[in-house]
Chains A and B, each alone.
Chain A
Amino acid sequence: MPFLKFTSITKRFPGVLALDGVSFSVERGTCHALIGENGAGKSTLGKILAGVYSADSGQLFLDGQPIAPSSPLAARELGIAMVHQELAFCPNLSVAENLCLGDLPRRAGGFVDRPALRARARAMLATVGADIDPDTIIGTLSTGREQLVQIAAAVGTGARIIVMDEPTSSLSAAETADLFRLIRELKARGLTLIYVSHRMEELFALCDNITVLRDGHHIATEPIPSTTPARVVTQMIGRELRAQTPAHLTRDLGPIRLAAENLASPGAFTDINLVVHAGEIVGLAGIVGAGRSAVVQALFGLDPAVTGQVRVNDRPLALGSIDSALAAGLGLVPEDRKRQGLVLGLNCRENTALAALPLLTRLGLVRRTAERALAERYAKRLRLKTPSIEAITAGLSGGNQQKIALAKWLARDCDVLLVDEPTRGVDVGAKAEIYQLLDELACEGKALLVVSSELPELIGLCRRILVMREGTLVGELPPASFSGAALMQLMAGLPAA
């Protein structure tokens, strides 16, 4: 008898059939991968299991018993917990307070029993081998450590099934390795994990079985050893993905567009020297915290403390001012599209035009036809999937939001585009489209500096890759020596093998 069984799960949202008769089983003590493009329904399925949504029809069976978790609390009582990307904790409270928030140990008179609180939190942290002081304020922990606390909360309250939604999307390489070790250990202890992710390598390294969803349909559930990444990708998108060599690599480089000399910012990075030519895509690799984002943000004028010389199109750039960066023709597609890239309450048209407003304005009035034409043009070019350019961006999928975050800077026609994590949390189809777009931009003679944590992305896209470690540049790789291993060694500071 399967441990957990989904039978004909159907979930309809207004206008969308998110899940259409999905049936499959999960074995006890396994790590079960759930994969699919954005909108395939994998998050909805995870949320139904965790009690966030309830299914319109179909039935869940746990250990042969029909279950219908009506709330996250009800799911918890059944032993099902979810580890989110979003804030699950109160960032201003301590680890111990967060872990026991639902049931604070109390003394007579309602006073919190601090020693008991600490002891209980320490016991919960110990179940996942987490070396975290229970008095630490959650907000001061890194994403990876916070996630560990979430897992401790789940395991410590007796969860039997843990749903993880994109757990590694903002973890460093070392944190990811720690997480994998922990997942294997939990599995050995008999816990069952549902692992939702876009990252194929991880799934193949970690999981026992894989379920592929496409457009709300169940496509396949197979043991990992009997499938291949290529096969899964085909199942996900329903067609073959062609591996392409970007066209810009065969073209000649133009003049130097961006040159930075001795760029430094106290506490963030020092001694950064780099050039990017017209028609070139330069990658900036490094583990999380190496200072990559800080460098591109400083180039864009967001860091008032930065020193050094930057020349754009051979003219000196005044540092620490977004205005002069914009005037020089720089654009920045930031790391976190929801926080930094988009105004989610505005619609696609308004977001696309946001950075280009000065170009679309006559006597202070926004030229509406020009604005609409601009938004339509980029929606078409980037193959934006939206009912209308007047749709609110909050309702779009991650891939489509990322396209708008890019369109915003294309609309300004920047000479130099700084792109921080171009495809984070974006599905495979949209990823390929974004790569193609970046390639086209390079072919048009733009200079691109791309920061990414996904090494295959940099390897497949760039002409040169610069590697940062602890705030300095530690190496530069030409295409001939592109390899994941070479990059990882530089990033982590290991001696060459």
Chain B
Amino acid sequence: MLARLRALFRFQESGLLLVILALGVLLTAFAGTVRTPVFERAADGSRTRVFTANAEGERVPLLAEKNKFLNAQNLAQLAKDTSFIAVMAVGMAVVIIAGGIDLTVGSIYALASVVGALVLHRYGPEGLIPSVSPALGIVLGAGACLGVAALCGLATGGLIVALRVHPFIITLGGMAIYRGIAFVITKGQSVGAFPAAFRDFVRFEVGDGLSFVPLATMIVVLIVGWIFLSRLAAGRRVYAIGGNELAARFSGIRVERVKLGVYLISGLCAGIAALLSLGYYGAATSGDGQGYELNVIAAAVVGGASLTGGRGSALGVVLGALIIQMISSGIVILGIDQNYSQIIIGSVVIAAVVLDNLNTWLAKRRLTAAAH
């Protein structure tokens, strides 16, 4: 039992789990309660208010008291918000572990969204070929969205490998270029009116308002990312390159190919998030996902991915994304002025990295001590 417990604490992500637990407890304790109307679900799925009579015999809505943080709707909302960031953060983690950085994810998200949206629109109610086959439209739209995202990632990686320029510079340029393309092809207009079936599928809810598809997508991406990083030879190569690129090259690893791959993965993850957003919000503009790259990098870094490369895990960054979202949502719930939210999140990112550095330093000291 004790050994089990100790193993749990030595488990790499246990620190993040503790932080999440502590945040959850604090938010629950300080959130206070709110009285909300009670709904009931009719046989056809529609929701209607429940009424009751008050002391004077008047018909009034039935209200229930619940914790502002710890309630089904808020948790469902948190799960959905986390999913979008977490999916991209897994891709970002792969890039960061390989010793790179990808600032293009927000722009790829926007470009993939609008390209997918243009295709979906053609097959939607206002499109040129409405209701021919919504299913075909959805498949083509999703394919376009993911395909464009993957191509963008490949292009970023290709430029980094071919031009041998630091990834920060290439992706800084790519960030502007991809968003620019999204603006040009939409002329800055919002694109909507998709086949209804698509929206219904992504917004499909289970329980008390929990969107199942984004959450399930995040879990699938997490599992695939975890297998990739910890079980596949390709993942091992990613760690090797991030840890020591020269030694990786001397070991016969095709460094360029792996680098190409990691930016492809990151682009694809941005595409998956874009696809979810198309279904969830039912429209896209070239301005979508502005600043996402910073949230995603923050999630990866808070989740323990080291910007010097060679360190990080898929589970860690997903938990990192959850922490960032819990803090954003906590700011709303605790009634803190919204204007402070960026200040708080920025401070959290810095604190997380400082703590992580401290931890690395301590580990290094133990190591060097052991070597002498």
Partner of A346, one of B231, B240, B370: B240
User: Is B232's CB under 8 angstroms from A355's CB?
Assistant: no
User: Is A343's CB under 8 angstroms from B310's CB?
Assistant: yes
| Residues in chain A near residue B239, CB distance under 8 A | 343, 345-346, 350
| Residues in chain B near residue A16, CB distance under 8 A | 369-370, 372
Partner of A14, one of B233, B236, B369: B369
Docked complex Cα distance between A391 and B243 (Å): 15
Partner of A396, one of B252, B253, B371: B371
Docked complex Cα distance between A340 and B247 (Å): 4
| Residues in chain A near residue B251, CB distance under 8 A | 354-355, 408
| Residues in chain A near residue B340, CB distance under 8 A | none
| Residues in chain B near residue A365, CB distance under 8 A | 231-233
User: Is B370's CB under 8 angstroms from A13's CB?
Assistant: yes
- The answer to whether B311 has its CB under 8 Å from any CB of chain A is yes
CB distance from B255 to the nearest CB of A (A): 10
| Residues in chain B near residue A299, CB distance under 8 A | none
| Residues in chain A near residue B254, CB distance under 8 A | 323
Partner of A366, one of B232, B240, B366, B371: B232
- The answer to whether A341 has its CB under 8 Å from any CB of chain B is yes
- Binary B-proximity of A343-369 (CB < 8 A = 1, otherwise 0): 111100010011101101100111010
User: Is A341's CB under 8 angstroms from B233's CB?
Assistant: no
| Residues in chain B near residue A93, CB distance under 8 A | none
| Residues in chain A near residue B311, CB distance under 8 A | 345
- Binary A-proximity of B146-162 (CB < 8 A = 1, otherwise 0): 00000000000000000
Identify which of A36-44, A303-311, A426-434 touches chain B.
A36-44
User: Is B237's CB under 8 angstroms from A357's CB?
Assistant: yes
Most buried by B among A15, A365, A368: A365
- Binary A-proximity of B198-223 (CB < 8 A = 1, otherwise 0): 00000000000000000000000000
Chain A residue at minimal CB-CB distance from B230 = A366
- The answer to whether A18 has its CB under 8 Å from any CB of chain B is yes
- Binary B-proximity of A302-326 (CB < 8 A = 1, otherwise 0): 1000000000000000000011011
Docked complex Cα distance between A360 and B231 (Å): 12
| Residues in chain A near residue B52, CB distance under 8 A | none
Known A-B contacts A339-B244, A346-B240; the reply to A364 vs B370 at CB < 8 A is: no
User: Is A364's CB under 8 angstroms from B243's CB?
Assistant: no
- Considering only residues 282-313 of chain B, those with a C-beta below 8 Å from chain A are 310-311
Chain A residue at minimal CB-CB distance from B227 = A365
CB distance from B367 to the nearest CB of A (A): 4
| Residues in chain B near residue A357, CB distance under 8 A | 233, 236-237, 253
User: Is B250's CB under 8 angstroms from A43's CB?
Assistant: no
Docked complex Cα distance between A18 and B254 (Å): 41
Docked complex Cα distance between A343 and B247 (Å): 6
- The answer to whether A223 has its CB under 8 Å from any CB of chain B is no
User: Is A343's CB under 8 angstroms from B244's CB?
Assistant: yes
Most buried by A among B244, B248, B252: B252
Chain B residue at minimal CB-CB distance from A360 = B233
- Considering only residues 138-158 of chain A, those with a C-beta below 8 Å from chain B are none
- The answer to whether B49 has its CB under 8 Å from any CB of chain A is no
Docked complex Cα distance between A449 and B246 (Å): 22
Docked complex Cα distance between A488 and B173 (Å): 56
User: Is A18's CB under 8 angstroms from B372's CB?
Assistant: yes
Most buried by B among A41, A350, A357: A357
- The answer to whether A397 has its CB under 8 Å from any CB of chain B is yes
Docked complex Cα distance between A14 and B365 (Å): 9
| Residues in chain A near residue B364, CB distance under 8 A | 394
- The answer to whether A238 has its CB under 8 Å from any CB of chain B is no
Partner of A41, one of B231, B249, B253, B372: B372
User: Is A342's CB under 8 angstroms from B233's CB?
Assistant: no
Docked complex Cα distance between A201 and B253 (Å): 40
CB distance from B247 to the nearest CB of A (A): 5
| Residues in chain A near residue B372, CB distance under 8 A | 13, 16, 18, 39, 41, 43-44
- Considering only residues 220-278 of chain B, those with a C-beta below 8 Å from chain A are 231-234, 236-237, 239-240, 243-244, 246-254
CB distance from B283 to the nearest CB of A (A): 38
Chain A residue at minimal CB-CB distance from B369 = A13
Docked complex Cα distance between A332 and B232 (Å): 25
Most buried by A among B251, B311, B368, B369: B251
CB distance from B299 to the nearest CB of A (A): 22
| Residues in chain B near residue A323, CB distance under 8 A | 252, 254
Docked complex Cα distance between A395 and B364 (Å): 8
- Binary A-proximity of B340-368 (CB < 8 A = 1, otherwise 0): 00000000000000000000000010111
- The answer to whether A334 has its CB under 8 Å from any CB of chain B is yes
Docked complex Cα distance between A396 and B246 (Å): 20
Docked complex Cα distance between A345 and B360 (Å): 11
Docked complex Cα distance between A16 and B247 (Å): 29
- Considering only residues 35-81 of chain A, those with a C-beta below 8 Å from chain B are 39, 41, 43-44
| Residues in chain B near residue A354, CB distance under 8 A | 236, 240, 247-248, 251, 253
Docked complex Cα distance between A339 and B239 (Å): 15
Chain A residue at minimal CB-CB distance from B250 = A340
Most buried by B among A43, A360, A395: A395
| Residues in chain A near residue B237, CB distance under 8 A | 357
User: Is A345's CB under 8 angstroms from B243's CB?
Assistant: yes
Docked complex Cα distance between A486 and B39 (Å): 97
CB distance from B233 to the nearest CB of A (A): 4
- Binary B-proximity of A373-409 (CB < 8 A = 1, otherwise 0): 0000000000000000000101111000000000010
User: Is A339's CB under 8 angstroms from B231's CB?
Assistant: no
User: Is B244's CB under 8 angstroms from A342's CB?
Assistant: yes
User: Is A364's CB under 8 angstroms from B232's CB?
Assistant: yes
CB distance from A318 to the nearest CB of B (A): 14
User: Is B247's CB under 8 angstroms from A366's CB?
Assistant: no
Docked complex Cα distance between A322 and B257 (Å): 14
Chain B residue at minimal CB-CB distance from A387 = B370
Docked complex Cα distance between A346 and B240 (Å): 7
Known A-B contacts A343-B310, A346-B239, A346-B240; the reply to A39 vs B371 at CB < 8 A is: yes
| Residues in chain B near residue A13, CB distance under 8 A | 366, 369-370, 372
Known A-B contacts A326-B252, A355-B251, A358-B233; the reply to A345 vs B369 at CB < 8 A is: no
Docked complex Cα distance between A116 and B366 (Å): 44
- Binary A-proximity of B310-321 (CB < 8 A = 1, otherwise 0): 110000000000
**Apart from A342-B244, A353-B236, A355-B252: 6 A-B pairs, beta carbons within 8 A:** A334-B250, A339-B244, A341-B247, A343-B244, A350-B240, A395-B368
- Measured CB to CB, the residues of A under 8 A from B are 13-16, 18, 39, 41, 43-44, 300, 302, 322-323, 325-326, 332, 334, 339-346, 350, 353-355, 357-358, 360-361, 364-366, 368, 392, 394-397, 408
Q: List 10 A-B contacts (CB under 8 A).
A: A13-B370, A15-B366, A300-B250, A326-B252, A339-B247, A346-B240, A346-B310, A354-B240, A366-B233, A395-B366
- Measured CB to CB, the residues of B under 8 A from A are 231-234, 236-237, 239-240, 243-244, 246-254, 310-311, 364, 366-372
For the complex of A and B, the 9 pairs showing the least CB-CB separation, nearest first, are A13-B369, A395-B367, A343-B243, A345-B243, A361-B233, A343-B244, A355-B251, A345-B310, A354-B251
